[in-house]
Amino acid sequence: MKETAVCRQEKANCISSDILADMLDGTDFSVWSGRDPKKYVWEATLKCKYARLTQNPNRTLLLSPGGSKRTANRSTVSINERSIVSIEELEDDWIRIVTTSEDIYIHKRK
C-alpha cells in the first residue's frame, strides 16, 4: 500500500487511498475539483455504486455510478495514485484529495 506524504507524517486525519476506496464504495457522494470547494473548477455529483483502486502497475482510484462491478471500470472520475500527495478527512463528512495538479473535494451524503 502506498502511503501519502501526510500519512508518513502520521497526522490523525490522514487516510490511505485503499481506505478511501473502501469508505466510498456503495455510498452517495459529491465530487468537486479546485483549490477551494467554494470556487471549484468542475463538479460531478455521483450516486456512487462502486469505488475501487486498480492494482499494479498503475494504481488508479476509480469512482463510478456504474450498475455493476463489471461496468465500474468506466469511471466518471479517475485519479492516478502517483499524483496523490495526501488524502485528508475534514469536518462535516468532507474529504480532500490533494494531487499534483489540483485538489479534489468529496462530500459524503447522508
Residue 87: per-residue pLDDT: 93
Q: Could you tell me if residue 34 is left (phi over 0), alpha (psi between -120 and 50 degrees) or otherwise beta?
A: left
Over residues 55-68, mean pLDDT: 77
Judge contact between 84 and 4, C-beta under 8 A: yes
Measured CA to CA in angstroms, residue 15 lies from 59, 88, 105, 109 at distances of 16, 6, 14, 19
Between 90 and 65, the more confident residue is 90
Over residues 25-46, mean pLDDT: 70
Cα(23)–Cα(41) distance, rounded to whole angstroms? 25
Nearest CA to 15 out of 50, 61, 64 is that of: 61
Domain boundaries, the chain: 5-108
CATH 2.60.40, applies to 5-108: no
Has residue 4 got a pLDDT over 50?
Answer: no
